[in-house]
Amino acid sequence: MWQTNAVVMRAGEETMLIDSPYFPDELEALPGLLAGAGFEPDALVATHADYDHLLGRLAFPELALGMGEPSVERLHREPGAAQRELRDKDAELYVERPRPLALGHVQALPVPGSIELGSEELELHPAEGHTPDGMAVMARWCGVLCAGDYLSNVEIPMVEAGLGDYRATLARLAPLVEAAETVVPGHGGPHTRDVALRILDEDADYLDVLERGDEKPKLPAGRDTREQRKINAENLQRLHRR
Ligand SMILES: [Zn+2]
């Protein structure tokens, strides 16, 4: 759904799953697929607390889920919200699950900060603006940036927190993208550095258009769809009702 991505990374003897697929058949296939490839996860991480990123424990119920401190705070502020939203979306899509989502004990990770993965280090960078929480995960040793719900080729910026926060996140992501070989957004295809830099520019331009309150802006090429116009209308509603 929504071209949602999960990324699995291995360094030395340790493997981590970042974010999650959505559909039950994908989640059911995941452990076998990853084990067959020698990428059996020891840990789960989510880039932010939106329900479509939290489903790793449906595939690996024995593993703990790690999230940035702001995401853990958000879960505590909105108890049960992720489970409720997942149930609603499942009902809309006629999706049935073998068991409900239980997040278990969520482990808070330092953002900004870093965590160890085997012999290497994963950098955790704050990424707010889409939501009030969020982090980007940079694996510098292999040139991969997991951007969370930013830099998508299929979705315009969905600004649920502040415009200022969103702009600050794009500015923070720019040097990370420069240092990356592959950028994986939460939704859509993985990008080369150059494509990600182009999207970053388009998104910064879109934020300017959004700030001006333009009702019918030209959306970036490939993202000028009815669904994205709906997201634009929701952004306008959120940002200009004050
Ligand atoms: Zn998402």
**Would you write out the chain's pLDDT as a tens digit for each of its 242 residues?**
899 999 999 999 999 999 999 999 999 999 999 999 999 999 999 999 999 999 999 999 999 999 999 999 999 999 999 999 999 999 999 999 999 999 988 999 999 999 999 999 999 999 999 999 999 999 999 999 999 999 999 999 999 999 999 999 999 999 999 999 999 999 999 999 999 999 999 999 999 999 999 888 999 999 999 999 999 999 999 998 75
Contact 81, 54 (CB under 8 A): no
Q: Are strands 135-139 and 144-148 parallel, antiparallel or unpaired?
A: antiparallel
Nearest residue to 182 via CA among 203, 226, 151:
151
d(CA 54, CA 142): 24
For residue 148, report the distance from its CA to the centre of ligand 1, in Å. Answer: 7
For residue 54, report the distance from its CA to the centre of ligand 1, in Å. Answer: 10
d(CA 131, CA 41): 27
Residue 80: DSSP 8-state:
T
Cα distance from N-terminal residue to C-terminal residue, the chain: 32
Q: Mark 176-199 as b/e (b = at least 16 C-beta within 10 Å).
A: bbeebebbbbbbbebbebebbbbb
Residue whose entry in the numeric block shows the structure tokens 């900004």: 112
Contact 233, 227 (CB under 8 A): no
Copy the structure tokens of residue 19: 């974010």
Report the predicted TM-score, pTM, of the whole model to 2 decimal places.
0.95
For residue 187, report the distance from its CA to the centre of ligand 1, in Å. Answer: 6
For residue 184, report the distance from its CA to the centre of ligand 1, in Å. Answer: 12
d(CA 79, CA 81): 6
